[in-house]
Amino acid sequence: MADKRSVIYSIEYIRAIAVIMVVMTHVYTSAFLSGTDHIYSAIFADVNIFFTFAAGFLFYHLSRKEPYYQFVRRRAKNVLIPYLIISIPAILIYALGLKQHPNIDLPDIGGVGLAAYLLLTGLHLGPLWFIPMIFILYLSTFVIRELERFRYGYLLAFLVSLGLALTIFPRPQFNDNPLMAAGHYLPIFLLGALLCERYALVRTMAEKYWMAFLILALLLFSISSQLDKDLQFPLKIVALISIFIFFTRFENVHMRFVDVLAGYSFAIFFLHGYIVAVIRILIDRGTMAVPIQNLGFILVSAIVIAICIAIAYLLKRVAGRHSRYLVGR
């Protein structure tokens, strides 16, 4: 969670959007149409760019001057420990042979070896592939922070890494290669840092052209729904920039629900995979019915978010400051 004394509120909007989109993505693809609808698939493709952008922005804003060892140690404590704890039930399910992975054949390497493989890839629970990937980016910040020595260091690094992401670092189809995924999302992390570095320019553009950027973002999302996934990625990046500039116009407008979603975003991210899995089982068994599909998955997404917030709140009440080791909150 960002230091409240140093919060730039426009990034809180991004974190709130990120967690809503990630939950809706997994509710939709897991419990409804399994990602077969092209328009929804286009909307939800690469929604993790929001979280990755926020991570890069907050790194530059809060941590670029922090000693590297201290930064990595803090990230390990606040990210890896909750990751390890929240992974235990999912890993046990695979280790005990109670579930087969829906997309890939897991290696037959026994309990400890399988657990290590799952932790290194995040394959044991849909959303968790993001954690090994983002931690690779955190580890790479010993190089990234050196970009500040050059006037256009972050801009050039963003452009070069974007070219590499579009050519030799595609997103792994089943999110089973954290190194490849890190190469794919590196430009987004750098983009977050770049826009933090150039935040004065972002504010100027937001003051003058905020409505134009909102229209551009909506137009790009609409266009991307008609394109293949490989072509959607660069358009989503421009749309992300446009959305961020739009919300920068309203950085002084604080909203309680944005505070809650942004503040609990990490906990929601860690917990929602289990809640979605339970809902999918209930729907498959006919125990739970959602009669209106389009509105239904929005309603279910809201329920999932509410349950995650309630669990995180209760854990915080019981465990106090130690709750961050359970759900990153």
Per-residue pLDDT of 296-329, as tens digits, reads: 778 889 999 999 999 999 998 898 877 777 776 5
Q: What's the confidence (pLDDT) of residue 98? A: 80
Q: Which residue has the tokens 């922005």?
A: 57
181 pLDDT more than 70: yes
Longest Cα–Cα distance in the chain? 60
Name which residue leads in pLDDT, 277 or 137: 137
Query: What is the mean pLDDT of the segment spanning 172-200?
Result: 96
- pLDDT at res. 1: 44
E strand or H helix that includes residue 212: helix 199-224
**Two tokens, residue 200:** 């004065």
DSSP-derived letter for residue 139 is: H
Provide the 10 A C-beta neighbour count for residue 40. 19
**Does the predicted TM-score (pTM) go above 0.85?**
yes
The rounded distance, in Å, linking the Cα atoms of 89 and 275 is 13
Query: Closest by alpha carbon to 275, among 313, 247, 301?
Result: 301
Q: What number is the average pLDDT over the span 201-226?
A: 92
Q: What angle do CA 130, 85, 13 make, to 5 degrees?
A: 45
Q: Provide mean pLDDT across the span 88-111.
A: 80
Q: Who has greater pLDDT, 41 or 213?
A: 213
Average model confidence (pLDDT) across the chain = 89
**Range 63-66 contact pairs with CB under 8 angstroms and sequence separation of 24 or more:** 63/141, 64/141, 64/145, 64/148, 64/193
Determine the residue type at 32: F
**Average pLDDT estimate for 159-180:** 94
> Please, what is the Cα angle at 266 between 187 and 67, to 5 degrees?
60
Segment 22-42 shows an average pLDDT of 69
> Which residues are within 8 A (CB) of 265 and not within 5 positions of it... i.e. 6 or more apart?
15, 16, 18, 19, 51
State residue 235 phi and psi, 5-degree precision: -65, -40
| Residue percentage of the chain with pLDDT more than 70 | 91
Which of 244, 123, 258 has the alpha carbon at shortest distance from 191? Answer: 244
In the prediction, which pLDDT does 34 show? 47
Q: How confident is the model at residue 33 (pLDDT cuts 50, 70, 90)?
A: low
Tokens of residue 311, six digits: 């669990």
| Rounded Cα–Cα distance for residues 292 and 31 (Å) | 13
First to last CA, the chain: 7
Mean pLDDT of 36-59: 82
210: tokens are 């905020």
- The whole-number average pLDDT for the span 38-58 is 84
Count the neighbouring beta carbons within 10 Å of the beta carbon of residue 4: 8
Among 56-60, 106-110, 270-274, the range scoring the smallest mean pLDDT is 106-110
| Section 257-268 average pLDDT | 95
What integer pLDDT is reported at residue 118 of this predicted model? Answer: 93
